[in-house]
Amino acid sequence: MIAIKIGEKIVEETVRDIYALMKKLDLIKEDTPIVLGGSLYKGAPGLLNIYLQRLIFLSLKAKVSLLKVPPALGASIIAWEASSYSLSEDKWEELSNFNC
């Protein structure tokens, strides 16, 4: 029960923060992609549903999805490109279709 309350609090704070940022950037009426990362949203579908309901209530244009790749992948790509390498279009396509 305590874990559920903690999860709900995290969802509430996340929605509040995203809404504040969308409002500040004048994105409330725009199609705005929002990507959620973390096991809380993947492992607790009930919390994801609460999150989606609350965010859609605040902004009908928000397009919420779950992160498809491990967060470390982004850091790896940045390091790779900082070393003067680049990813081919085929590799970008492969990574964009990656599922954890």
Same domain, 78 and 91: yes
Same domain, 11 and 57: yes
Q: How confident is the model at residue 25 (pLDDT cuts 50, 70, 90)?
A: very high
pTM value is 0.64
Query: Which of 14 and 99 is assigned the larger pLDDT?
Result: 14
Domain count, the chain: 2
Same domain, 41 and 81: no
Same domain, 78 and 52: no
pLDDT at 100 over 70: no
In this predicted model, what pLDDT tens digit does every residue of 75-98 receive, in sequence order?
878 887 888 887 788 877 777 776
- For 59: left if phi > 0, alpha if psi spans -120 to 50, otherwise beta; the answer is beta
Per the structure, the complete domain to which residue 87 belongs is given by: 69-100
Same domain, 29 and 58: yes
Same domain, 29 and 44: yes
The 10 Å Cβ neighbour count of residue 72 is: 8
Average pLDDT, the chain: 80
